[in-house]
Amino acid sequence: TSIAAAVAATKGTNIVVSAQNCFWEESGAFTGEVAVPFLKSAGVKYCIIGHSERRQYFGETDQTINKKALALYKHGIIPIICCGEMLADREAGNTAKVIDTQIRGCLAGLPAGNVRESVIAYEPVWAIGTGKVASKEQAQEVHAQIRGLLTELYGKDIADAVRIQYGGSVKPDNVKELMAQPDIDGALVGGAALKAADFSAIVNFSK
């Protein structure tokens, strides 16, 4: 894909181009990785880090995600920091513990001013690409927990400024009830974005 071409095509619109991953080192022999300065020069404004598939298949940890966040902040790119529990965690009643650990680890040592601009995406792993979706109550509960933790770490003003997205089988028929929740600020859309009609319906849903 050509990020620069996408940036050019969306110039003058409300659409901004994002990346799905990055590497924390600016240069060196890291074959296959994408350096943050490259993304910056291409016009990227946001970058997803810590997606559950990156954790599952590429061994990413809260610590490496933290390094990526620092690299993105340094170059003025806003990170979309992902967190979420496995099905076994939810069934064992450990969702809150998992989310707390991930958020603290990913944000460790990050300046409050940078965190204010960040996006956090809650993506229950058991709902990604499975057709299952967290109920609006389940999603709101975790989003409220994240907001509360941000308040504890950085204060209410910053916690209120951080956008917390929900990701996990968001579809045209559930986006409205999810977006109606007080602590859900947006959606991290995956599979539905592959179908233009579905993605358009999600983006243009009526409140």
The count of structural domains within the chain is 1
Which pTM value belongs to this model?
Answer: 0.95
pLDDT of 133 above 80: no
Distance CA 164, CA 147 (A): 8
Distance CA 200, CA 6 (A): 18
Active site positions, annotated: 51, 123
Where does the pLDDT of residue 118 fall: very low under 50, low under 70, confident under 90, or very high at 90 and above? very high
CB atoms within 10 A of CB 135: 11
Closest residue by Cα to residue 113 from 65, 166, 74? 74
Return the closest-CA partner of residue 99 out of 49, 150, 60.
Answer: 150
CA 112 to the chain's CA centroid: 18
Among 191, 31, 168, 188, smallest CA distance to 119 is for: 188
What is the chain's mean pLDDT, rounded? 95
> Which range of residues forms the domain containing residue 199?
3-203
The CATH number for 27's domain is 3.20.20.70
Average pLDDT over residues 110-130: 92
pLDDT digits (tens, 9 = 90+) for 185-205: 999 998 899 999 999 999 999
